[in-house]
Amino acid sequence: MLKYQRINWLELKATLGIGNFRLRSSKNPLMAPPILSLALPSETGRVLSIQSHTVQGYVGNKSAVFPLQLLGFDVDPINSVQFSNHTGYPSFKGQVLNGQQLWDLIEGLEANDLLFYTHLLTGYIGSVSFLNTILEVVSKLRTINPKLTYVCDPVMGDDGKLYVPPELVAVYRDKVVPVASVLTPNQFEAEQLTGLRIVTEKEGREACKILHAAGPTKVVITSINIDGNLLLIGSHQKGEGQSPEQFRIAIPKIPAYFTGTGDLMTALLLGWSNKYPDNLDSAAELAVSSLQALLQRTLSDYRTVGYDCQSSSLEIRLIQSQDDIRHPQVKYKAERYN
Where in the sequence numbering do the catalytic residues fall?
263
Distance CA 132, CA 126 (A): 11
**The residue type at 232:** L
Count of other CB atoms within 10 angstroms of residue 187: 24
Residue 33 gets which letter from DSSP?
A: P
Buried b (16+ CB within 10 A) or exposed e, 243-267: ebbbbbbebeebebebbbbbbbbbb
Distance CA 103, CA 98 (A): 9
**What is the maximum span of the chain, computed from C-alpha positions, in angstroms?**
73
DSSP per residue over 110-173, as a string? HHTT----SEEEE-----HHHHHHHHHHHHHHHHH-TT-EEEE----EETTEE-S-THHHHHII
Backbone angles phi, psi at 85, to 5 degrees: -160, 170
Contact 73, 44 (CB under 8 A): yes
Contact 120, 148 (CB under 8 A): yes
Closest CA to 205 of 239, 249, 246, 236: 246
Distance CA 317, CA 297 (A): 7
